[in-house]
Amino acid sequence: MSLPTAALLTQFQDPSLGPYVKNFNLIYLDIALSRETDVSPYGPQLLRGVSSIPQSGMRGYFPIMMRALQRWKFDYETPGLAERIGLEKNDAKCLAGMFEKLLYYDGTIASSPLPPAYISKDGFPNLTALNAAKMAAAKLTRGALGEDGALALFIGAKDGNAEVADFCNDAIKRLGINLEDASLVRGLYELYFEGPRLNIQISILETLGRSVLAANTMPEMLRLIEKGFDSMSLS
């Protein structure tokens, strides 16, 4: 029995429906997408409006979206992907933020910083599933998220999976990163103070050290110096 994938997507994105109906809808949407031999007709619809989905709904929706994204053979190399799929700026920013959290999740209960509820063992039960989702996120970030995706690629470049890290490093080389971008600098500071893995901490310090804007961003720079002194006194 075939299920109406497009209609299920439209229904889930209907803001007038309550959480119970949406959760029930997600069960059938997941089945419908898994039965599609080609998910490309539904790829853009999966992403559009994602910024309007509440956190309670994202817990079930995000893993489904990522499984479909892995199977969507979109062209991330040709410029203009965001325009081709009709991705709005607010949705791009939302996706970038979620991909940042996905890319620094290591798949363990000890992962730090703690991931949000929509990134868990239930949604990504093993490293194979997690790494496939990370690669899909990295490809969409390179192709469609522009400067909004700079921090996600930065985090991905330090991933423990070589394929993910190599792809993100290559994307950074091709696209470049604007070290004087206020959003990126703010994101690097916020990530550092959340206590990520040591290799990410070191890379953040190296990157901030090359930015004039970062050196003049207060009180974050003073807090960074203070933290450095505290670490030295403890050692």
3-state secondary structure 25-81: HHHHHHHHHHHCCCCCCCHHHHHCCHHHCCHHHHHHHHHHHHHHHHHCCCCCCCCCH
Q: Are 214 and 188 in contact (CB under 8 A)?
A: yes
pTM for the model? 0.92
Q: How wide is the angle at C-alpha 200 spanned by C-alphas 176 and 164, nearest 5°?
A: 60
Give Cα 101 distance to the centre of its chain: 6
What is the Cα–Cα distance from 4 to 40, expressed in whole angstroms?
15
pLDDT of residue 234: 46
pLDDT of residue 109: 82
Q: Per-domain residue ranges for the chain?
A: 5-177, 180-235
pLDDT of residue 112: 78
Q: What is the pLDDT of residues 106-116, one digit of tens each?
A: 998 888 788 99
Task: Tell me what the pLDDT averaged over the chain comes to.
Answer: 92
Q: Which helix (H) or strand (E) holds 220?
A: helix 220-234
Q: What is the mean pLDDT of each run of 10 residues along the chain (235 residues)?
A: 84 86 92 94 95 90 97 95 96 97 90 89 95 98 96 96 97 94 95 90 94 93 79 51
What is the Cα–Cα distance from 38 to 175, expressed in whole angstroms?
29
pLDDT of residue 3: 77
A 10 A CB-CB count for 116 gives 16
